[in-house]
Structure 1
Amino acid sequence: MIALPTGMQVFERGWLSSNNILFMDEQKNALVDSGYLIHAPQTLALVQQAMGERKLDLLVNTHLHSDHCGGNALLQRHYGCRTLIPVAETAAVATWDEDALSYAATGQQCERFGFDAAIQHGDRLQLGGMDWQVLAAPGHDPHSMILYCPQEGILISADALWENGFGVIFPELEGESGFAEQAAILQVIRELHPRIVIPGHGAAFGDVDAALQRAESRLDYLRADPRRNARNAAKVMLAFILLEARQLSIAGALAQLGNTRLITSSARLLGQEPSSLIPQLASELVSAGAARMDGDMLISTR
């Protein structure tokens, strides 16, 4: 168990939702990231249980993938909390451009929310009585931020670094650079020498050097053949909607994902059509034990 400073609490969530980090002090109460839409009531319940009658004053999003901001709207309605988002996403949120925000591109859901201000590289935030540096962390998402507290040696890494890897490198699916940026942010993290990393998914961990070595090895593997990243991305997107629905037919999966921008770009990189790729990926989920087939229905086992 990783010991965190007083007034800082991590809600480790299961897949579909990112972890949430709650800060409480005499000045303000703040939450970093809010999970996925269908888990929003659970996010609210976790915050209420931890804070009691206290008010959530501030909500900060490291990035705006659906699993990190899907609880924003409910928390805003309940608390009227001030909300900070990455600066590059402000125009897309203001107009609610679901293509630019990736929700239409991935077949995922997010309730419309607003924002009050933006965070950008070089900013400082006071959370839990501690000073946090805001650092740009492109790679998985070109607009992602991570938060570092030099005082405590704690890094909130979002999806830039997990204990065993990192998030899908989405920019590479559409011909944009992502591998180089991911390598750069891993080097930034190495130079920070954090004592503790709180990832976007999974438990907080302290053996950061080992995690970085695993992440760098994983990145080398993907860079050696970008089709590996494309296949992994498409499988992750299928697994996500399966976890949300719990079961769906192959025809249903094709209807939900087959025409999305990121599935079609992944299929193109693999030299396939979505109509052939998605059934293959479903079979791979079954082989991996993540799902089973019952007739024509793909059923999640997780």
Structure 2
Amino acid sequence: MGKSSIIFFERKYPSANTILMKDQLPVLIDTGFGSDVKDTEQLINEAGVSPEALHLIVNTHYHSDHVGGNFHLQKKYGVTIAAHKWEADLINACDPEACSAEWLDQPVETYRVDTKLSDNDEIHTGNRVLKVLYTPGHTLGHISLYEPEEEILICGDLFHKSDIGWLNIFREGVSSIQRSLESLDRLAKLRIKQAYSGHGPQIDNPLVAIDAARERFEKWLKAPEKVSWHACKRIFSFTLMIKNGLAKEEIDNYLLNCGWFQDFARYAFQLQPEDFIQILVDEVIRSGAASWHNNYLIAAAPYHAPQEQWMNKNIKPKDWIVNQIV
């Protein structure tokens, strides 16, 4: 293999962005949504790295859009997977809370974390070293990766070019805003020329983006309801993407069976879930996150709808014990 390089793949929803460290020991950071795994394979191959040559997969955190390709790449090619130790323990125990998949109603096929990462660990790719930075907030086991030679940061869903990752106050705790701010403050002390986040384009002015993210989190401290609105719209929009829209007559029953919807309705907005349905639908339309098309509510952001056959698998961590990789 020639000179090492860092290759960034900006991807449509429902997949998160993917980064390939092309070096003597190739490392893939985040593997996209499960239904897009063939596209993930193709991206790697076109970059000049065969999937079987991958030395390691590193996940910034365990949400379905970041770990969905793990199952296929681990089972077919035996690729080692690394993640923060706190998320690794839940995944390897097939805990129903793993990946928040049940609560979010997002399918994730079973995988095993082989390498448990901690803050300040180093990942060697041959000619480069990636430093593991523990940056909780979006999830409790969220990590970022820093490459000091080119001063490149891979920040997962902590912040994006013009947005921040939604916060799960019911699974990650109400202190997730403070944790996010502490994570941003830590990153702001680094020399960063370029950053790659889990969604959206590369970030050419990382410190500007960090300052903007900090300002937004600080506003959330003063108006916690904004945290819940941000999360509800992001989660519901993702649902509309992976289901390729919801028919008007399906929406009530679907939302009433979602853990996230029940929690936000009752505890964030002090409403009965039945009374929150139309309020949420109206808000995603008002904000431009979704719109009606032939009686279907469709997400506005560009996305690549999963195949219906794949979605019908409906695999959740509670099912993993039967299919556990050995």
TM-score by length of 2: 0.84
Q: How does 1:245-256 map to 2 (within 5 A)?
A: 245-256=243-254
1:273 aligns to what? 272
Q: How does 1:125-274 map to 2 (within 5 A)?
A: 125-127=123-125, 129-171=127-169, 175-267=173-265, 268-274=267-273
The answer on whether the counterparts of 1:37 and 1:70 sit within 8 Å (CA) in structure 2 is: yes
Which one has more relative contact order, counting CA pairs under 8 Å at least 6 apart?
Answer: 2
Which residue identity lines up with residue 258 of structure 1 in the other structure? L
In 2: Cα distance, 1:115 partner to 1:192 partner: 29
The answer on whether the counterparts of 2:245 and 2:297 sit within 8 Å (CA) in structure 1 is: yes
- Residue 36 of structure 2 is aligned to residue 35 of structure 1: no
Give the one of 55, 58, 76 matched to 2:56: 58
In 1: Cα distance, 2:294 partner to 2:49 partner: 47
In 2: Cα distance, 1:204 partner to 1:295 partner: 35
In 2: Cα distance, 1:30 partner to 1:163 partner: 24
Which residue identity lines up with residue 284 of structure 2 in the other structure? L
Shift of 1:294: 4.4
Say which SS state the counterpart of residue 193 (structure 1) adopts: coil
Cα RMSD of the aligned pairs, angstroms, is 2.0
In 1: Cα distance, 2:251 partner to 2:98 partner: 22
Shift of 1:198: 0.9
Gaps of 5+ in 1: none
The answer on whether the counterparts of 1:140 and 1:178 sit within 8 Å (CA) in structure 2 is: yes
Which string of whole-angstrom CA distances, capped at 9 and with x for unpartnered residues, describes residues 45-91 of structure 1? 21122235462221111110111101111111232111112100222
Q: In the superposition, relative to structure 1, how do residues 60 and 213 fare at CA in structure 2: closer, same or farther (>3 Å)? A: same
- Runs of 4+ aligned residues of structure 1 deviating over 6 Å after TM superposition are none
Q: In the superposition, relative to structure 1, how do residues 300 and 120 fare at CA in structure 2: closer, same or farther (>3 Å)? A: same
Gaps of 5+ in 2: 302-326
Q: In the superposition, relative to structure 1, how do residues 269 and 289 fare at CA in structure 2: closer, same or farther (>3 Å)? A: closer
Which string of whole-angstrom CA distances, capped at 9 and with x for unpartnered residues, describes residues 123-164 of structure 1? 011136211111111111111011111222111111112111
Shift of 1:217: 1.7
Please, which moves more after superposition, 289-298 or 261-270?
Answer: 289-298
In 1: Cα distance, 2:6 partner to 2:109 partner: 27
In 1: Cα distance, 2:35 partner to 2:147 partner: 31
The answer on whether the counterparts of 1:121 and 1:136 sit within 8 Å (CA) in structure 2 is: yes
In 2: Cα distance, 1:13 partner to 1:280 partner: 31
Say which SS state the counterpart of residue 293 (structure 1) adopts: strand
Question: Alignment identity in percent?
Answer: 28
The answer on whether the counterparts of 2:83 and 2:113 sit within 8 Å (CA) in structure 1 is: yes
Q: In the superposition, relative to structure 1, how do residues 122 and 167 fare at CA in structure 2: closer, same or farther (>3 Å)? A: same
In 2: Cα distance, 1:295 partner to 1:52 partner: 43
The answer on whether the counterparts of 2:61 and 2:141 sit within 8 Å (CA) in structure 1 is: yes
The answer on whether the counterparts of 2:139 and 2:172 sit within 8 Å (CA) in structure 1 is: no
2:292 aligns to what? 293
The answer on whether the counterparts of 2:192 and 2:207 sit within 8 Å (CA) in structure 1 is: no
Q: In the superposition, relative to structure 1, how do residues 255 and 72 fare at CA in structure 2: closer, same or farther (>3 Å)? A: farther
The answer on whether the counterparts of 2:64 and 2:108 sit within 8 Å (CA) in structure 1 is: yes
TM-score by length of 1: 0.91
Give the one of 37, 42, 45 matched to 2:42: 45
Shift of 1:172: 5.8
Say which SS state the counterpart of residue 194 (structure 1) adopts: coil
Shift of 1:6: 4.1
Please, which moves more after superposition, 288-297 or 207-216?
Answer: 288-297
Say which SS state the counterpart of residue 154 (structure 2) adopts: strand
Say which SS state the counterpart of residue 99 (structure 2) adopts: coil
The answer on whether the counterparts of 1:174 and 1:265 sit within 8 Å (CA) in structure 2 is: no
Say which SS state the counterpart of residue 171 (structure 1) adopts: coil
Q: In the superposition, relative to structure 1, how do residues 250 and 236 fare at CA in structure 2: closer, same or farther (>3 Å)? A: farther
Say which SS state the counterpart of residue 169 (structure 2) adopts: helix
